[in-house]
Amino acid sequence: MNSIGKILVVFVTASSMGFLAFIVALRSGGPDWQGEMRSPELQKEFVFTTDPGEKVMYSAKHRRTETEVSPKTPILAEVILKSRKRLEDDANKKMQELNPQVQPLTDRLALIKKLIPEDDAGVQFRIKKYEEQIEKLVAQLKQVGDEFSAKTLETQDVMRLAQDRREEGYRLSNQLELLRNDKFAALQQQKVLEFELIRLEENRQRLQRRQKQLKQQLGDGYLD
């Protein structure tokens, strides 16, 4: 009996020490519940509230639906664990909603894969037709470009000829202007000569009249 008592004392002592060690480990090296609460994964889905006081109280609610996830409690671990549980439940619910859609999508994907060779043949045929049309258009474009180049050269020749004609016109116009000036000068000279001729004619007539008067005055003794 003493042996059993000693064994129990040792067991209780060892258990107490073990529990104490667990408490110390939990307090010093256990999970970082504050860090968990601030993790992006939980912050994205939940709003955590901390009420300071004699006993700090923690609570959480869903960010989108604003439903309560955990009521106020002094144990932060409880709030974090409930939030994690809600996150897991939401994920499982989403999986249950998506699972019925997997098979139809799988069947549709299989059908699409089956139709790919036929569609590919049709696509290749259309590509070939498009390439032929493109080649025709390129040939037509080249022909139009060649014709345009030829027309451009012809236009340039016509423009050069027109420029030569304009220059010839300017030259003839200048010559005509010079001739007009010469004609005007000749007319002016003609007028001067006509005036001089008139003046000479008047002098000649005046001299004739003088000669006639002298003849009358001198009679037969006047020598011509």
pTM for the model: 0.38
Residue pLDDT, tens place only, 74-87: 999 999 999 999 98
The yes-or-no verdict on residue 6 having pLDDT over 60 is: no
The yes-or-no verdict on residue 165 having pLDDT over 70 is: yes
Tokens of 129: 């037709």
Average model confidence (pLDDT) for the chain? 80
| Edge-to-edge strand list for the sheet holding 57-62 | 46-51, 57-62, 68-73
Query: Which residues are CB-neighbours of 50 under 8 A, at least 6 positions away?
Result: 56, 57, 58
Using alpha carbons, list the distances in angstroms from residue 77 to 44, 54, 60, 172: 18, 19, 12, 111
Tokens of 102: 């997997």
Q: Which of 55-69, 100-114, 136-150 has the lowest mean pLDDT?
A: 100-114
| Average pLDDT for 93-119 | 80
What confidence score (pLDDT) does residue 18 get? 37
Q: What are phi and psi of 51, to 5 degrees?
A: -105, 110
* CA 182/CA 188 separation, integer angstroms: 10
